[in-house]
Amino acid sequence: MKFKRLLTTLLLMSFNAFALDMSNVGVFTRCYSHITQKFPPSNLSQLNAVKNGLDPITACLQIFDMANFAKNTSMLTNTNNQTAKDVLKTMHNLHYSWFDTNFFPEIQNQIIRNTGNVFDTSAPAAYFTKALFDAASPVTNVLAGTTSYRLIRANNNPTNSPWNNIPLGDYIFTNVNFAGTGELLGMEVTAVNDTMNFTFDENQNPPESIISGTLTYNRHFGGGVLGLQPYLLQSVQSTVLNPSPDGGVKTHRKWSRAVFNDILCRELPVVREVDGDPFVSSTSSITFRNSAACVKCHTSMDRMAGVVRGVQYTERAGKFFNLGHSAFIKQRTIDKPDADIFPIEPDIDFGKRPTKGRLYYRTHNGVLVNKAVINIQDLADQIIAEDAMFVCMAKRYYKFFTGIDVDVGDIGDPNHVYLTAEEVAVRDIVIDLGRDLKKHKNPRLLIEDILRRPEYKKSNSNVGGFL
């Protein structure tokens, strides 16, 4: 019994080091472990420098900066530096975790293997990774332009397809550029309209009928990550080959819901009851339009989805639904005039009308953002003009480094969950960090600001979160 009491006391006491600051070695160890996901080796020069008086965060940032991309490239300066690769991998995987959906859709019950062979599911995260490690790339580039990135990995030109392991010589596409595999080393810009040539035995049994042609797979629709092929594929998640949104029952609301989650850290509803009320229609045949509670979400996500209304998959070729079970996004031809972006009744021509939509949400401080947008890039520009994306990034980095997850929603909404004074206070810190990011546009500086905060130096006094 004495032994039992002893162990009880021992464990309880060891977890109650409340509010104590760590030693400099402790701070460095935490920081190094955070950014590399490894325990620092005892012969590490920065660790010894800390023991000799170097500021631990300065030392840690020396480690962090090893992963900076070489000037005018998007590659590690030294691809043989394991620590640099560890940092890059840690931060890229962190960015990858920010995206709610991380898989390509199944279309007509088929896994789109060829899509997985040429695209990296983490490609959307590359925008954040580049902004972090490329000093010449401001964070606003995350939502800017039509640049697509291909991740460069240790095995950058695999001879077998990475998803289903088919040798290049046997592959349906004759000039396919498989996605790289293995450790991440950087990224490279790809052409907007990359193509793949195919030669395809349609029936696979005599009499053979060979089909050949070219498939465009890398169109970009503007707005940085928002219009990137892999992001659209993963967030639109249509399970039919040619989705025909009608602006009512059917629309690409999975995509807009993903944008609120992935880029703005917001879960629907993002407006207040009163903001949705004007869009309720008791006579509509669209069920959700009859209910204020439903419209409250749909008024934001459905109207934003107007900018991707024309999304559909590449043309069918051959007898199967697509080449080698591929799916890539293209834009339907616009041949119908403008109409209501949030029709009360289904609009069969909705997908053929101009790509208009609306950004509609309440900010963290309760201001209603209500902006008309004409395409994905315009939407991205309007998002950048607000604080939300920057606050969202601050929230996520802050959580990664401190374990504290703040609520950046509209806490002035009477229906919003009550926050304690402490939660509000830390939330305000994060909001300030986000606003600072909006000004300096440098995520690396944001991380340094977080690491230099007093709470980062606090001892591990409580080890919750896993029981």
Binding another protein by CB under 8 A: which of 38, 316, 319, 452? 38
- The sign of the dihedral angle between the CA atoms of 424, 430, 432, 435 is negative
Q: What separation in angstroms does the CA of 460 have from each of 30, 90, 172, 455? A: 10, 21, 54, 11
Are 413 and 276 spatial neighbours (Cβ–Cβ below 8 Å)? no
Rounded to 10 degrees, the C-alpha dihedral 180/182/187/192 comes to 20
Q: Judged by CB under 8 A, does residue 138 bind another protein?
A: no
- Please report how close the Cβ of residue 425 comes to another protein at its closest, in angstroms: 4
**Closer residue to another protein (CB): 145 or 182:** 182
Instruction: Please choose, out of 178-186, 260-268, 291-299, 371-379, the segment that lies near another protein by the rule CB under 8 A.
Output: 178-186
Number of residues that bind another protein (CB under 8 A): 96
Q: Judged by CB under 8 A, does residue 156 bind another protein?
A: no
Q: What separation in angstroms does the CA of 318 have from each of 109, 161, 211? A: 17, 21, 7
Instruction: For the segment 238-297, give every residue that binds another protein (CB under 8 A).
Output: none
Q: Judged by CB under 8 A, does residue 167 bind another protein?
A: no
**Closer residue to another protein (CB): 22 or 294:** 22
Instruction: Please choose, out of 167-175, 247-255, 293-301, 456-464, the segment that lies near another protein by the rule CB under 8 A.
Output: 456-464
Are 49 and 28 spatial neighbours (Cβ–Cβ below 8 Å)? no
Instruction: For the segment 186-215, give every residue that binds another protein (CB under 8 A).
Output: none
**Helix 82-97 crosses helix 56-64 at what angle (to 10 degrees)?**
90
Instruction: Please choose, out of 6-14, 71-79, 278-286, 335-343, the segment that lies near another protein by the rule CB under 8 A.
Output: 6-14
Q: Largest Cα–Cα distance of the chain, in whole Å?
A: 85
Q: Which amino acid is at 398?
A: Y
**Closer residue to another protein (CB): 5 or 71:** 5
- Which two three-digit tokens encode residue 272? 């207040």
Residue with tokens 């000037």: 71
Q: Which amino acid is at 204?
A: Q
Binding another protein by CB under 8 A: which of 1, 13, 210, 417? 13
DSSP lists the bridge partners of residue 149 as 189
Q: Judged by CB under 8 A, does residue 418 bind another protein?
A: no
Instruction: For the segment 357-376, give every residue that binds another protein (CB under 8 A).
Output: 363-367
Binding another protein by CB under 8 A: which of 29, 46, 238, 256? 29
Binding another protein by CB under 8 A: which of 105, 180, 227, 351? 180
Binding another protein by CB under 8 A: which of 139, 259, 431, 433? 431
DSSP letter assigned to residue 291: -
- Which two three-digit tokens encode residue 18? 């409340």
Binding another protein by CB under 8 A: which of 159, 193, 281, 462? 462
The end-to-end CA distance of the chain, in Å, is 26
Instruction: Please choose, out of 31-39, 139-147, 242-250, 260-268, the segment that lies near another protein by the rule CB under 8 A.
Output: 31-39
Interatomic CA distance for residues 410 and 387, integer angstroms: 13
Interatomic CA distance for residues 290 and 292, integer angstroms: 7
Are 213 and 317 spatial neighbours (Cβ–Cβ below 8 Å)? yes
Q: Judged by CB under 8 A, does residue 392 bind another protein?
A: no
- Please report how close the Cβ of residue 388 comes to another protein at its closest, in angstroms: 12
**Closer residue to another protein (CB): 3 or 338:** 3
Instruction: For the segment 73-132, give every residue that binds another protein (CB under 8 A).
Output: 89-90, 92-94, 96-97, 102-103, 111, 113, 116, 120-122
